[in-house]
Amino acid sequence: MRFRRLLTALFALALLGLAAFYLLTQPSTLAAEQFRPRTADLANGATLFNIGGCSSCHATPKQDDHLRLGGGLALQSPFGTFKVPNISPDPKAGIGAWTEVQFANALLRGVGRDNEHLYPAFPYTSYQRMSLDDARDLFAYIKALPPVALASEPHKIGFPFNIRRLLGGWKLLFLDGKPFAPDPARDAAANRGAYLVEALGHCAECHSPRNGLGGIVASKRYAGGAALEGTGWVPNITPHADGIADWSAKDIEYALETGLTPNGYQLADSMSEVIGNTAKLTTVDRAAIATYLKSLPPRAGKAPGK
């Protein structure tokens, strides 16, 4: 009898645990009421597209037009291979049939059109800092680009990472849903730079080390880390001796425009894609980024073997 009661109690606890897990891991989405009528700013959308690096991932590989966002790039990771989807305005293969609300939920909440959790290979942990108006301007700009009728490929991810519901628990740890808040102690240029770096540019996603769950190590943010695809090391970009302490703000601006370091070296690999995007920004925005990077707390972070 006692054994039976114990089994009943354990079963009840298991049901309560499953119910709690289900409730806690539900996708969190934006309310439709937040989307008041407005006229989209396509010029701002273009700026967001460039600093956000949308074409670097979503443009179909092996074609020259960076505005043809048919997807297909394979992103290798310790958790599996993520296939970048088509986000062109094609109504079937891309996001042409998506609403503003659906797009903003993907960008700011990491929730797909079918209310599924998206994998954080899509850097919504940074994009969550974007303003809603900026997300809407970006959507309007992408909707004006050429449609590409190329079906997205499925991710190649094994168990248990293929269980998307688990991402709801991951988000509890690494996604707070808070938009960018200007720091009253900073001037307008530094706050603009902070917004571009922290939200749109998602610089921390590559320039920071990650823990075993794939979340950024907060105490080492921007101090460099292993390349997400498992080969190489992404450098420290804090004003530490291990990073860019000897770079001036002008050096950073020039690098963001030309890809050349103060020593005359050309930034290569994935950073060359970034430079292709930041070169399209205004000089004011590049200066704002430089101002913010120079204001970061210096953090040690040498690459292995150095």
> How far apart are alpha carbons 72 and 93 in whole angstroms?
12
At 210-232, the pLDDT tens digits run: 998 899 999 999 999 888 776 77
**What stretches of 196-248 show up as alpha helix (H) in DSSP?**
204-207
For residues 249 and 262, the answer to whether their CB atoms sit within 8 Å is: no
Pairing of strands 225-226, 80-83: unpaired
CA distances to 41, 50, 198, 284, 290 from 190, rounded to whole Å, are 23, 19, 12, 11, 9
pLDDT at 254: 94
Length of the chain: 306
Calculate mean pLDDT across residues 287-294.
Answer: 96
For residues 291 and 189, the answer to whether their CB atoms sit within 8 Å is: yes
Query: What type of residue sits at position 168?
Result: G
> How far apart are alpha carbons 134 and 77 in whole angstroms?
29
Nearest to 119 by CA among 59, 74, 170: 170
At 146-170, the pLDDT tens digits run: 999 999 999 999 998 898 999 999 9
Categorise residue 131: left if φ over 0, alpha if ψ from -120 to 50, beta otherwise.
beta
At 19-78, the pLDDT tens digits run: 666 677 788 889 888 999 999 999 999 999 999 999 999 999 988 889 999 999 998 888
Q: C-alpha angle 100/103/106, rounded to 5°?
A: 150
Chain centroid to Cα 165, Å, comes to: 20
- pLDDT band at residue 12 under the 50/70/90 scheme: low
Beta strands in 176-266 (DSSP E): 225-226, 233-234
